[in-house]
Structure 1
Amino acid sequence: MASDFYQVLGVPRTADQDEIQRAYRSLARKYHPDVNKDPSAEDRFKEINEAFSVLSDPDQRAKYDRFGEDFRKVPDDWEERVGADVGAGGGFRRGGDGPRVRYAGSGFGGEGVDIEDLFGSFFGGAGRMRTPGADQEAELPLTVEEAYRGGRRSVTLAGPSGQRSYDVDVPPGVIDGQRIRLAGEGGRGSGDAPAGDLYLRVRIQPHPQFRLEGRDVHVQLPVTPWEAALGATVPVSTPSGATAKVNVPEGSSSGRRLRLRGEGMPNPRGKNGDLYAEIRIMAPPRLTDRERELFEELAAVSSFDPRRTR
C-alpha cells in the first residue's frame, strides 16, 4: 500500500461516512483524467478510488483499522473465527487453555503478529490465503533531456534479495512525479498468487539551463544591449537538443518573457508545453577602443534614464 488511505482522502481516522463521501467527491472531480490532463492525475485518481472503496465499506474499514496494510490478507470471517476466543485486552486464546498471544495490526502500532501465522496457526492452516503480492515503488531519476526524449533505459534497484535490473520504456515527455508501471515486478504473492506491480516515480533532476513547470520549460536568453534595443532574431536552446529561433522585440528589457508555443515538453495525450525564454541583457566584459567610443557617444546623446519614475 503506497500510503495511508485516510491521508489519501485527507480525512481524520475518526471521519464519518459523510466526511469520507464529501472528501472523495471533491478529490475525484479534481483528479478525474477527463478533467485533469496532468499524466500523474490518473494514478492519483486510482489511489483516491482505492481509498474510498475501502473506507466507505464498514467491514473493509474495520479490517483496515485493525490490521493496517495487511488487511487484504485477513479472511472476511475473521471476527467469527476468533470472536469467541478474544480475551480481555484484545488478546487471542488458542484452544481456551492454551498460550495467550496478543495481536496488534502491523500497520498501526502494537507488538504485531504475522497475519499468516495468526490465521494459519490458530485454525490449522484454514486461514492461509492466496494473497497477491504488494505493489512497490521506487524513484527513477531523469535529466530534462531524458524526460523529453523518452526511450528505453536500464535501471538497477537494490532490494532485500540483492540488486535487480530492469529495462524500462520511458514515454517521451514524462514529468516530475509521474509513475511508470512495471507489471508483475513488485512483491511476490503467496502460493500461486500473482506478484504485485513495481511503480517507478519520475524525479527530474535540476538542470543548469532548463527549469520545468509542469510541461512548460523556462530558459534564460542572453542578448546584447543592441539586440535588446534594436530588436533581433536570436537562437535559443531547447530540451530536444535542437536550436529554435526567437524574435526579440525592439526595446526589450531584462526579465521580459518570450513564449515559443509547443516547444516545451511533449505530451502524448494533448498539446505540448511551451518554452519561455527570459531575456537577460549582457554587456561586453571588455570594450575595444571603438566600442567604448560608440558607447560614450550614445551616453552623450541619449536621454533615456531607466531609474526615472514613469
Structure 2
Amino acid sequence: MSIQYKDYYGILGVPRTATADEIRKAYRKLAKKYHPDVSKEKDADARYREINEAYEVLKDPDKRGHYDTLGANWEQGQDFTPPPGWQGGGTRVEFGGDMGGFSDFFRTLFGGGFSDIFAGAGSQAPVRRDSEVDLKLTLEDAARGGTHTLVMRSPDGGQRSLNVRLPQGISEGAQIRLPGRANGGGDLYVNLHLVPHPVFQVDGYDLTRSVRVAPWDAVLGREVSVETLSGSVTMRLPPGTQSGQRLRLRGKGLPRRGGGNGDLFVRVEVSLPRHLTERQKELWEELSRLGA
C-alpha cells in the first residue's frame, strides 16, 4: 500500500538548504495569507493545514533530518511507499499530541508504521493556528516600556484583553511572541509599530528633532533648552552655529536592546526676526557695515 508523498519544502516554497530563519519567515508569510479566518481563497483551510504540517516537520531539526533521509528525488503527490525499516520498528521521532489533524504521509513517517494511518480515523483534531496582530505604540510608550493592554477580537465576535509586556529596545517592526495565546490555540505574534511623532523623527534607536534659536544665540554660542523624551535639558551651542547644523545629545534617544540609549540629534534652525524696531534696524545696519 502506498500513500502520497508530501514535498514540505515545496509547500513552504523554500529550498532544501533553507535555514531555520528562512523556513520560519516563509511559514509566517503563507500562514498569514491562507489563515481561514481572513483568507478568501477557496482551498484556504486545506492549504493552511498543509502549511502547518510542513512547518511542524521542517522547524524541528530531528523531524527535518528524519524526513530528509528519504532523499530529494520525490515530487509532491507522487505515490510513496516507506522503505524497509520505517514500518514497525523503524526510526521514530517523538511528536507530542494527537496527530489526527495531519496527513497519512505525516503519520506514517512519525507514527511508526501504516497502522497509525487508521489510528483515530474520523477524529480530526484542530490544527494549532498561529496568528499575528499589529500593536501601535507612541514613542513615549516605547521609551517607558512596561505593560500594554491589547484587545483581541475572536471570530465569533467576542473579545478578550491580553497584557503585553514591552521589552527594552523596541524598534519599528519588532515582534513579541506570546505562546499559546492566539484564538486558534497557537502562538500569537505581536508586531510592534511606532506611531509617527509630531516632534521626533526615528532612525532605529536614534531620534532627530528641530530647535529654533535666535540668531544672536547661534552667533555667540549660548545655552538653549531642548525638550527630549525624558524631559528638558540644556544644550550649549558652539559659537557661530549655522542654520541646519546638527548637534548630538548622547543617550537621549530610545532605549537599546541590551542596555543604553540611542542619541538625539538636534537640527538647529536660526529664527530671523520678522519685525524690527528702528533701533534694531540701526544695529543690523551697523553689523552689515562691519561685515558681520
Using structure 2 for the length normalisation, give the TM-score. Answer: 0.61
Q: Show the counterpart of 1:265.
A: 254
Is 1:288 the counterpart of 2:283 in the alignment? no
Distance 1:175 1:129, change over 3 A: same
- Paired positions, count: 215
1:144 maps to a residue whose letter is: L
Q: Structure 1 residues 222 and 181, CA, compared in 2 at 3 Å: closer, same or farther?
A: same
Are 1:166 and 2:162 matched, yes or no? yes
- Structure 1 contact 133–187 (Cα < 8 Å) conserved: no
Percent of aligned positions that are identical: 35
| Gap regions ≥5 residues in structure 2 | 1-7, 28-46, 58-62, 64-75, 80-99, 108-116
1:16-67 C-alpha deviation (Å, 9 max, x unpaired): x4xx36xx4xxxxxxxxxxxxxxxxxxxxx73474699xxxxxxxxxx9x93
Q: Is 1:221 matched with 2:211?
A: yes
Partner of 2:40: none
Aligned residue for 2:129, secondary structure, equals: coil
| Amino acid paired to 2:156 | S
Letter matched to residue 21 of structure 2: E
Displacement of 1:123 after TM fit?
Answer: 4.4
Q: Does 1:196 align with 2:170?
A: no
Residues 11-30 of structure 1 mapped to structure 2, 5 A cutoff: 13=13, 15=15, 17=16, 20=17, 24=19
Post-superposition Cα deviations, 1:239-263, rounded to whole Å, max 9, x if no partner, equal 12x1122121111112211111111
SS of the equivalent of 1:135 reads: strand
Please state whether the residue corresponding to 2:289 is helix, strand or coil.
helix
Residue 71 of structure 1 corresponds to 54
Q: 1:172 to 1:290 in 2, by over 3 A?
A: farther
Are the counterparts in 1 of residues 9 and 54 from structure 2 also a CA contact under 8 Å? no
- Cross-structure match for 2:42: none
Shift in Å, 1:216:
0.5
- CA distance, structure 2, for counterparts of residue 52 and residue 142 of structure 1: 27
Partner of 1:148 in structure 2?
143
Structure 1 residue 165: deviation in Å? 1.8
Aligned-partner residue type, residue 158 of structure 1: R
Normalization by structure 1: what TM-score?
A: 0.58
Q: Give the C-alpha shift of residue 116 in structure 1.
A: 4.0
Partner of 1:243: 232
Contact 1:5-1:51 within 8 A present in 2 as well: no
CA distance in 1, matches of 2:200, 2:136: 16
Structure 2 CA distance for aligned equivalents of residues 14 and 116 of structure 1: 23
Matched, 1:178 2:174: yes
Equivalent position SS for 2:186: coil
RMSD: 3.8
Distance change in 2, residues 1:185/1:52 (3 Å): closer
Deviation at 1:5, TM superposition (A): 8.0
Query: SS of 1:276's equivalent?
Result: strand
